[in-house]
């Protein structure tokens, strides 16, 4: 085996690349399932935005998720603040939230949105921790997948090195 071919063999991690791609798919699908089970779907914008991105440059393997900007509020919750009533109204209409009679009157959607916004201003919102729970649940499986892929790649590399020495 020529030196150039050996160098190509040493810097190829095909099994790891495939495993990383599979991990991206796995994380993406399990996170979406967790959002669905946690009833964190109103407009569907967040769940529809979940896309994994895999990159491999100079033996740096990376998986990231592309998500709507507000994912962090769904994940971690918020401190008390007065949110825009217009955004809460959009959520009320999309969810839909059914108002309950108060003082014998049924609030309009606008009134309901204001009441929800006021409550958020007092207590904030609770996070669902769906992404962190997903990653915790998959930790061992991801470790196993990476370990198996690296083992195969390193076996192939070792064999290539031994062939050059013979």
pLDDT value at residue 43:
86
pLDDT value at residue 6:
64
pLDDT value at residue 1:
55
Helix and strand numbers (H, E) in the chain are 7, 4
In terms of Cα–Cα distance, which of 129, 127, 130 is closest to 32?
130
The sign one gets for the Cα dihedral 128, 41, 37, 145 is negative
pLDDT along the chain (166 residues), means of 10: 68 91 98 93 92 91 95 96 94 84 84 95 96 98 98 90 78
pLDDT value at residue 117:
97
pLDDT value at residue 124:
97
Question: Quick one: tokens of 138?
Answer: 């998959």
Q: Mind giving me the DSSP string for 11-50?
A: T--HHHHHHHHHHHHHHHHHHHHHHHHTT--SSSHHHHH-
Q: Which stretch of DSSP H or E encloses residue 127?
A: none
The sign one gets for the Cα dihedral 109, 87, 118, 71 is positive
């Amino acid at each position: 085996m020529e030196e150039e071919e050996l160098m190509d063999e040493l810097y190829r991690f095909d099994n790891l690349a495939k495993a990383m791609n599979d991990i991206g798919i796995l994380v993406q699908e399990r996170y979406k399932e967790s959002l669905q089970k946690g009833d964190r779907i109103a407009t569907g914008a967040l769940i529809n935005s979940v896309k994994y991105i895999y990159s491999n440059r100079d033996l740096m393997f990376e998986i990231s998720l592309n998500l709507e900007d507000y994912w962090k509020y769904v994940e971690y919750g918020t401190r008390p603040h007065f949110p825009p009533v217009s955004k809460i109204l959009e959520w009320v209409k999309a969810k839909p939230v059914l108002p309950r009679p108060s003082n014998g009157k049924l609030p309009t959607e606008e009134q309901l949105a204001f009441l929800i916004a006021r409550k958020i201003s007092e207590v904030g919102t609770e996070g669902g921790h769906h992404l962190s729970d997903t990653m915790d649940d998959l930790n061992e499986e991801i470790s196993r997948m990476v370990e198996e892929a690296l083992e195969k790649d390193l076996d192939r590399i070792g064999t290539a090195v031994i062939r050059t020495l013979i």
